[in-house]
Amino acid sequence: MTQVIITNITGLTPTYEIYACNVYGDDCVLLDNLGSTVPPIVSYILPPSFDTAPAIGLKIITNGCERFHILYCENFDPKKLFQDGTNFYFMTGDQYDFQ
């Protein structure tokens, strides 16, 4: 079971369409139509098709604006923490900076 936790969304306004995708932005699965701001923290259990993925794409769409980030699952830990569109934190607290 793979989980994504979003602690903050900045620079976008609700309502958000939140998708999990492959790293190419294809085969997306709608996780939520979120009508409120983040925080508060939201978490999603990803479909089983993502359980063995070495990376996923997280896509957030609002008002025609789209953000897409690849989240790499280094040392494959089935839990991931995503924060603010710039930084990725593993549940161990290790930080991954997007390039």
Quick: pLDDT tens for 24-53: 888 899 999 988 888 888 888 888 888 878
Domains of the chain, first to last: 3-97 (2.60.40)
Highest-scoring range by mean pLDDT, 15-24, 51-60, 76-85: 15-24
Q: What does the block give as tokens for 91?
A: 């549940």
Q: 58-91 b/e with 16+ CB inside 10 Å = b?
A: bbbbbeeeeebebbbbeeeeeebbbbebeebbbe
Read off the pLDDT of residues 56-69 as tens digits, 9 standing for 90 and up: 899 999 988 889 98
Is residue 4 pLDDT above 50, yes or no?
Answer: yes
The predicted pLDDT at position 78 comes to 46
